Each structure stands twice: as C-alpha cells, then as structure tokens.
Amino acid sequence: MRIEKCYFCSGPVYPGHGAMFVRNDCKTFRFCRSKCIKNFKKKRNPRKTRWTKAFRKSAGKELTVDNSLEFEKRRNTPVKYNRELWQKTVEAMKRVEEIKQKRQARFILNRLKKGKQLEKEEAINEVKKNIHLIKAPHAGKSKQLEDKMVQQLQEDVDMGDENN
Amino acid sequence: MAEATLCAKHNASVSAVAAAIQKMTRVRVVDNSSLGNTPYHRAPRVIHVYSKNSVGKVGDRVLLAIKGQKKKALIVGHKMPGSRMTPRFDSNNVVLIEDNGNPTGTRIKVPIPTHLRRMEGDYSKVLAIASSFV
C-alpha cells in the first residue's frame, strides 16, 4: 500500500480515494479528487494554478531544498527486509516529520516577517502625511494650565475675602 | 473525425464518452501481433460485442473487422470513466485473441489494468504476456 501524490495539487491520495488516468504514452496521472481531474481536463498548468503546491514551490513560497525533504524522494531499488530496520524507520519517520514541519513553518514565518516591517513603514508614512489631522498630545495643555491658574487665583481671592 | 489513411492515425477527441465500446467503434490494437500492427486503409472496428447489453467494458470479448477479416479481441481499456478505482485510458485498447482465449500476439507493451485479474474468466494468458500493469 502506498500513499500516492496527486499530479495536480500534490496532495496525498489515500487508498480508496481519487482516480487514475493513463495517457497513450503510458504515463499515469493520479488525482486526489474531481477538482484536480476537472482542472487537468481543462489543460490547466499546475505550476500556474495558484492553490497547488507545484505553484507554491516554483514561486518560492514554500521550502524546496532541505535535508528533511530528501527522505520523501522515491528510490527505485528495493531494500531487503530487516525487522530492526523497519522499526527504526518508523521511529525515524516520526522525528523527521516533526523536524520537517518546524522547518517549513520557520521558512514561512521568515518570509512573512518582511511584510510586518513594510506594514510598519507604511504606518509611519501615513502618519507623516496626515499629521495635520492629529492633535498633538501637548495641544491645549498651556491653555488648560492658564485656566487652572486663573481659577486658583480666583479661589485665593475668594478665600482672602472670606477671611476679611 | 479521424481519417484512417494508409497508416491508421489516432486523432485525440476531447468530448466526453457516452458508452464504452459498442458496434462500429474504432479500437486500438495494443499487442505485437502482425494482424494488429500492419497498416490498412481502414481502422479496426468492432462489429459485435459479446455481452448481455452490447456495451463492451474491460474484460469483454468483441468481434473485430481487421484487414477485411473477422477476429475476436479482448477489451483492455476504454476512454469511458468506469469505477473510481479503475484507470481511465486515453484510447480504446484491445488485444487480439483466438476463439479459445489465447492471445495472438506475444507481448503487450501498453499498461493493462490490474482489475482484469480479479474478473471472472480465464485471462491468465493475456496477463502473462503483459509487461506493465496499472
């Protein structure tokens, strides 16, 4: 049993899912769902259809070259069965998957950091441009202080009058 | 429409298929028999389908008219989408057969669907000469 890759979206095709098409040059195409089959029949190029993994990898939006991805490459030489090797492989698969997820997530995080920086610069530019719409934090403080002083003086005068 | 000249060409049609293989369908012989591979000015055509409803699917026997003679054949792939877990082919493929079920050719290079193994009927000889399975 093998989990194949969909030709169009590169998603996993589990047993019992999807369909297969054999072209006259004997090349077989596996698809995970009818969405991919319909797009294929429309002769769309997966490297240009934005939601596919093929596009994302070719456009540099996802991790392409990495040691953890080497494990997934297909090898055409069969390996002699060895129980310990099998068990170790299962353990290794779990660990490799963990590392791969972290690295992929890290790649995307780094890619999106630039966006945050640009956002900040944009915000600064916007403020600079529209500074005339913003009230300065110290605006009106001097008037407020003056009023307060006047009020204080008034109160002192009233107090003085009372005492007299 | 495909014009069969001295060498039968396969013009790819992109319209959806309604019924798999019936009378008068032009088929592609995929084994290496001389009858199937020598050029003729008319493509091999189905003239009778040996099934209850005259529609040929994978594993059905048909009668072909090739080079002016009648010959039995076995369907090994068709353009019509069938059950989800069976492959769909880009041409209607057929393997020439004798009356007792023995294949006429000695090798089949085109991929043969594996569900032929599980079908009722003796296809062991045809499966034995197939080089690849799909």
Residue type, A95: R
| Residue A36 pLDDT grade (very low, low, confident, very high; cuts 50, 70, 90) | very high
A95-116 residue pLDDT tens: 999 999 999 999 999 999 999 9
B1-53 residue pLDDT tens: 444 445 556 666 667 777 899 999 999 999 999 999 999 999 999 999 999 99
CB-CB neighbours of B81 under 10 Å: 15
User: Using CA atoms, how far apart are residues B101 and A44, in angstroms rounded to an integer?
Assistant: 42
ipTM for the assembly? 0.84
Average pLDDT (B40-67) is: 95
Q: Which residues contact A1 (CB under 8 A, 6 or more apart)?
A: A15
- Considering only CA atoms, which of B101, B105, B99 is closest in space to residue B130? B105
pLDDT at A31: 96
Chain A residue set in contact with B, beta carbons under 8 Å = 16, 18-24, 26, 28
B70-100 residue pLDDT tens: 999 999 999 999 999 999 999 999 999 999 9
- Considering only CA atoms, which of B20, B23, B25, B31 is closest in space to residue B102? B31
User: Using CA atoms, how far apart are residues B120 and B59, in angstroms rounded to an integer?
Assistant: 9
Residue of B85, B91, B134 lying closest to A24 (CB–CB)? B91
pLDDT at A110: 94
**What Cα–Cα distance (Å) separates residue A116 from each residue in A59, A112, A119?**
20, 7, 5
Strand partners, B133: B112
pLDDT at A125: 96
Mark B84-113 as b/e (b = at least 16 C-beta within 10 Å): eebbbbbbbbbbbbeeeeebbbeebebbbb
Phi/psi of residue A120, nearest 5 degrees: -60, -45
Cβ distance B46 to B24 under 8 Å?
yes
Contacts of A18 in chain B (CB under 8 A): 84
- 0.95 exceeded by pTM: no
- A22 to B10: CB separation less than 8 angstroms, yes or no: no
